[in-house]
């Protein structure tokens, strides 16, 4: 599963790369991000890993509000605006400067999660969501998005602690709409070239092989 040998550590002068990982909760995103980062470290390629919402002082505070179970009265409109606010701060403060420096940035979720969770899950108007996403990201899009597709009923059983955060504790119908949303986004004509859909029921090693294979292609451009 090693990256090809001709990927050199020195990337000076090459464009920055933005990579996002998406999927329902507990689909295995974090494991694959960790594996990719470990391999990049091995071949001495610098990488920045950022989570959504979060990764900046302001965005982390917004994250706490969004995921706190005590905020059960939060409306869907408030939720989508808070996610977008945290994202804008992240894009301006961290992502754009890193890409301009030619760095590799890996995102644990990005605007596709808002489309899936708030657009499909909460059933907020998709046209509004798309416009909001463009505004919040300043038009920034990933070069490649890995969608680890997994049935939510299987994914939620992977949770090894009792307490769920505010979104994780939504009913199974919500999570199924989210999954359907991710697949619809990935299969749309506008996104087919960007998305790599991976069967989340495959072994961890098999998923890693797919991620490495497509990463090799994007980094060589």
| pLDDT tens-digit series, residues 125-151 | 999 999 999 999 999 999 999 999 999
CB atoms within 10 A of CB 144: 19
- Determine the average pLDDT of the residues in 170-180: 94
Choose between 11 and 39: higher pLDDT.
39
| pLDDT tens-digit series, residues 12-51 | 667 899 999 999 999 999 999 999 999 999 888 889 999 9
Q: 76 vs 33, 95, 163, 172, CA distance in Å?
A: 29, 26, 22, 17
Is pLDDT of 115 > 70? yes
Domain limits, the chain: 17-219
Question: Going by CATH, does the domain composed of 17-219 fall within 3.40.50.2300?
Answer: no
47-51/195-199 β-pairing: unpaired
Q: Residue 105: phi, psi to the nearest 5?
A: -120, 125
């Amino acid at each position: 599963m090693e990256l090809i040998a001709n990927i050199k550590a020195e990337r000076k002068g090459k464009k920055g790369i933005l990579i996002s990982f998406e999927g329902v909760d507990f689909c295995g995103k974090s494991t694959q991000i960790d594996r990719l980062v470990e391999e990049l470290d091995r071949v001495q390629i610098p990488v920045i890993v950022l989570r959504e919402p979060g990764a900046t002082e302001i965005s982390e505070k917004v994250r706490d509000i969004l995921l706190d179970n005590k905020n059960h009265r939060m409306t869907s409109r408030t939720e989508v605006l808070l996610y977008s606010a945290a994202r804008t701060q992240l894009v301006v403060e961290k992502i754009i400067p890193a890409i301009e420096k030619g760095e590799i940035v890996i995102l644990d979720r990005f605007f596709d999660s808002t489309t899936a969770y708030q657009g499909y899950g909460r059933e907020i108007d998709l046209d509004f969501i798309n416009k909001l996403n463009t505004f919040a990201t300043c038009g920034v899009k990933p070069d490649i998005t890995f969608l680890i597709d997994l049935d939510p009923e299987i994914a939620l059983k992977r949770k090894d602690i009792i307490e769920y955060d505010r979104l994780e504790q939504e009913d199974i119908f919500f999570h199924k709409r989210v999954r359907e949303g991710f697949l619809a986004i990935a299969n749309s004509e506008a996104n087919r070239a960007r998305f790599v859909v991976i069967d989340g029921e495959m072994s961890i090693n098999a998923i890693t092989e797919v991620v490495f294979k497509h990463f090799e292609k994007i980094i060589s451009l």
